Amino acid sequence: MKQISIDALNAHLFEAIEGLKNNNDPLASPNEKMSIETAKAIADLGKVVVEGYKVKAQVISMAQKAENPTLYKSLAEGSGIINENK
């Protein structure tokens, strides 16, 4: 599965906003328009992604404060919360 950054997520969300704005533009092509249902689905998925990033940030914060950060990092990596390859 491809990982996306917060910046890429923001770009998708702003594309959805533009697509909604284009619904009222008679000169916009159908490819430049987006249904409200699709935009809502994108926004909802964006919220899920942001919540995932919040969890990762909390794990990193906890690891920095842990008595044994190496063990904590190992547990976080083993559970898939953080990725060593990044």
The pLDDT of residue 10: 86
- Decide: helix, strand or coil at residue 26: coil
Would you say the pTM of this structure is higher than 0.75? no
**pLDDT tens figures, 10-25:** 888 899 999 999 999 9
Rounded CA separation 2/8 (Å): 12
Average pLDDT of 26-55?
90
Query: What length does the chain have?
Result: 86
User: Phi/psi of residue 4, each to 5°?
Assistant: -115, 155
The pLDDT of residue 1: 62
